[in-house]
Amino acid sequence: MQKISNFLKVLFLMYFVTLILLLLLALVMYKMEPGEMLFQIWLIAVYVISGFVGGFLIGKCMKSQKFLWGLGAGSAYFLILFLVSIFLHSGLSTDMTHLFTTFILCAASGTVGGMVS
C-alpha cells in the first residue's frame, strides 16, 4: 500500500512540475513572443524534466529496482497525458510518430531519473 501511495504522490509531483514549467512557457510566450521552434523545444524539455524528476523521486522512495520504477513513472505520466488528450480532442488527433516519440521521451527520462537516484 505504501508503494502505491508513493507512486501516486510522485505522479502528482510530476504534474505539478509540468504545471510550473508550462506557466513559465506561457510567461515567455506572452513577454517575448518567440517562434514555434522555441515552443516545441520547451515542450520536449517539459516531458524530459518532469519524467526525470518523477523517476528520481520514485527511485529514492523505492530503494530497489529504481530504473524499473522510473520507467513505470514515466510511462504512467505519458499514459495520463495520452488519455487526457484523447478525451479533450475526442479521439487521436496526432500522428503515431509523434505519439511514439513522446512515449520514448517520457519513459526514457523516467528511467534515467530512476537510475541516477
Residue 94 has a pLDDT of 66
More confident residue, 95 or 61: 61
Cα–Cα distance, 55 to 66 (Å, whole number)? 8
61-89: average pLDDT: 91
Question: 5 to each of 8, 9, 22, 26, 37, how far by Cα in Å?
Answer: 5, 6, 26, 32, 38
Residue 68 has pLDDT above 80, yes or no: yes
Calculate ∠ Cα 2-21-37, nearest 5°.
Answer: 135
Cα–Cα distance, 107 to 55 (Å, whole number)? 9
For the stretch 23-50, pLDDT in tens is 998 898 888 877 788 888 999 999 999 9
